[in-house]
Amino acid sequence: MVTTAEQALEVTDLTVAYQEKPVLWDIDLDVPSGILMAIVGPNGAGKTTLIKSILGLIKPAAGHVLIHGKSYRENRHLVGYVPQRGSVDWDFPTSVLDVVLMGRYGRLGWFKRPSRQDRELALASLDKVGMADYAERQISQLSGGQQQRTFLARALVQDAQLYFMDEPFQGVDATTERAIITLLQDLRARGKTVIAVHHDLQTVPEYFDWVTLLNVRRIASGVVQDVFTEDNLRQAYGGRIAFLHNGTNGEDGTTAVVTQGPNSVQVAPAIVPRDATA
């Protein structure tokens, strides 16, 4: 692939602080294009803040960001964004198609209304996420999974090169999760890059090529086999992670169990291959 030579995203020395407290400290990232990358880390690690500051929604204290070699301002049209599902009011008086059409607003520019062609693109992308029958549906009637698909359809209609997704799998059922990952893999096959905040450590090796472990600082970033290690996870999650070693089926695997508080139960088990070739 020709595109892999190109860097989709370069982040240099990114620091973000709310008042005095740093939320992100001196982050460097180099993400090649044509991959699926997960951003993982405990609550409050700054995952959402990282995405928002790359997109210019939060003003960083220092650092700069390049999207495909240029500033975000210059290459904004190459970027698609899926915010957290819970960040909007789903009782807003509008239809599914209307929400998806918002993905075209960036290309439309000021004052222009969506054209028939925009509507066709929006319907086509609703079809891709399996929501074609819901186009005229009021958005408050959607289930969590359908809301997530609607947001994905809106991002698809942006026709971007680099997608940022904030917890695309949050609160969706297994069927929707499969549908979404198929969609992401389809994007990758077309040379696009997807960077997603992810919570289920167990599925990281299965779903993603690259992973960034984050906890205010960048713990590690790279190919999953290289950096998704017990050591790095321990650094990212601190004392809140427990590893269960097991060797079933002759595979040398490790299960990581993340607990978010002293009394909370296991949140996410993960099979972490210690062998790079596993």
Residues in contact with other proteins by CB under 8 A are: 52, 55-57, 73, 76, 79, 81, 83, 87-89, 92-95, 99, 102, 105-106, 108, 110-114, 138, 140, 154
DSSP state of 19: T
Six token digits for residue 94: 């509008």
Largest CA distance in the chain: 63
The helix or strand, by DSSP H or E, that contains position 257, with its residue range, turns out to be strand 253-258
Q: How far is the CB of 101 from other proteins (least distance, A)?
A: 9
Q: Nearest to residue 210, comparing CAs of 12, 10, 6, 33?
A: 33
Rank residues 118 and 200 by Cβ distance to other proteins and give the closer one: 118
Rank residues 102 and 227 by Cβ distance to other proteins and give the closer one: 102
* H-helix segments, the chain: 47-54, 96-101, 105-108, 116-128, 144-156, 174-189, 204-207, 224-227, 230-237
Rank residues 44 and 92 by Cβ distance to other proteins and give the closer one: 92
Rank residues 136 and 275 by Cβ distance to other proteins and give the closer one: 136
Instruction: Identify whether the C-beta of residue 227 lies closer than 8 Å to the C-beta of residue 221.
Output: yes
Rank residues 164 and 207 by Cβ distance to other proteins and give the closer one: 164
56 burial type by CB count under 10 A (0-12 exposed, 13-18 middle, 19+ buried): middle
DSSP state of 115: -
Q: Nearest to residue 146, comparing CAs of 170, 172, 168?
A: 172
Rank residues 2 and 111 by Cβ distance to other proteins and give the closer one: 111
